Amino acid sequence: MSESGDTDMKFKRIFGLVMDSVGTGAAPDSVNYGDEGADTLGHVGHYYAGKLALPNLAKLGISNLRDTPIEGVPVTDAPKAYYGKMQEISAGKDSMDGHWEMMGLPVRKALSTYPNGFPADLLKKLETFSGRKIIGNRPESGTKIIAELGEQQMAKGDLIVYTSGDSVLQIAAHEDIIPLDELYKICEYARSLVNGPENLIGRVIARPYVGPDAEHFTRTANRRDFTLEPTDETDMDRLQAAGVHVVGVGKINDIFSGHGIDEGYHNESNMDGMDHVDHVMQEDFTGFCFINLVDFDAMYGHRRNPKGFGQALMDFDQRLGTVMANMHDDDLLMITADHGNDPTYTGTDHTREFVPLLAYSPSFKQGGSLGIRSPFSDFGATVLDNFGVAGNDAGHSFLADLN
C-alpha cells in the first residue's frame, strides 16, 4: 500500500463509515421535500419502546448529539467520541448527493425526477437495445412492484422499470430469466442515455431478484449502481493524487464510478461489510477507508420496517465494539449517514434529515460537541486536512477540535 510522506499527520488511518439512511431528525429544509417531522433514529427508538440496545453508539454520544435522546439509548456524561450533526446543502436527498457532498462535491442543481414515469422515447430506446418489453414505469417500492409484476416478467422476459422520489432509474429482472451480465449491460446502456442535458439521472440501479413466485421473491446482493460520473474532482481524487491510499467498501465504488479508489470491496450485507472493515483494519497502510452499509436503507428504510431497522442497528452496534477494540491510537473512526429513511414515515422514499456525526479515536481522553456542521463537505475537508492535502474550500475541517 502507498504511504503518505506527511509525518505531521494526526491520524495514520481514517475510517469513514456511512450508516446508509440513518438520519437523526428533520432538517430545516425538510418542508421542501415533504418530510416534516421525519426522525429515523428517534422513531425507531420509539418503536422499540426503550428496548433499542446500542451500548457502543451510546458510549460514543449518539444520544448526546440529539435535542431529545433516543429511547433506550442514554445520554452519557463522558462521551468517548466527538459528536454532532451534519446538515446537507445538496439539491437532493439521494445517496449520491450525500456521498458526493461529503467528498467536497455538493450537488447544486437538482437532478431529473420522474413522478409520472419515464418519457416514451427513453423507454423505446431501452426496448430496442434490449429486445425486451418494459413494464411498470412508475414511482414505486421495489419489493411491491416486483411482487406485482415479477411473475409476468418471468413468463415473458420483460424488464420491470421503476423509479422513486429520487433521481433513479431502476431495472428489475429475475436472475434465472435475465442473466446478470445481460442486466448489467442493459443498465450500462441506460446510463448512457441519462447523462443530460434533457434527462440527467443520478443513478441507474440493477435490481436482480430470485424466487419461484410473488410470495417468495427476494432481491439479491447482486444489485449494482451505475452512477453519474462525478462532475468534478472529489476529495478522494485529491487524496489519491497525493499518494494517500483510498479504500472503498460497499457501494462507494459505484457511487463514485470507481474514481479516486485504489482498493474496493463489494458488500453482500451489512455484516459482510463489517467483515471487510475488520479485514482492512488488519492491513498496514496510511490512508482513508470509506465505507457504506446499505442494509438500513435497502432492507428496512424503503420497506418501512422499523423492527428490522432497529435490529440492524443493534447488530451493527455489536460489530462496532470489535472495530473500536481493534483500533490503533493513531486511527480515527468517523461515523455518519448520507440522508434519512424514516421507516415509520409515509411513502417509501428517503427523508431529508440531519445526519449524525461521531468521531472516535482510542487516543481521545474524552469527547465533546462538534455542533451542527454544514455542508457535509466538512467531513471530507477533515480527512484532507489530516493528510496535508489541499481541498476546494467546499467544507471546513474540524480536525483541530479532535484532541
Q: Which residues belong to the annotated binding site for Mn(2+)?
A: 20, 297, 302, 338-339, 350
* 30 neighbors 353 (Cβ within 8 angstroms): yes
CA-based torsion, 142, 206, 216, 133: positive or negative: positive
Alpha-carbon span 359 to 112, nearest angstrom: 34
Q: Is the peptide bond before 69 cis (omega within 30 degrees of 0)?
A: no
* 54 neighbors 73 (Cβ within 8 angstroms): yes
Grid coordinates standing for 280? 482492512
Which 8-state DSSP code applies to residue 353? B
Q: Is the peptide bond before 197 cis (omega within 30 degrees of 0)?
A: yes
Strand residue runs (E) in 11-112: 13-19, 82-86
Instruction: Using CA atoms of 90, 95, 98, 100 in order, give the dihedral in degrees to the nearest 10.
Output: -90
Closest CA to 207 of 240, 164, 262: 164
* 88 neighbors 339 (Cβ within 8 angstroms): yes
Binding residues: 20, 297, 302, 338-339, 350
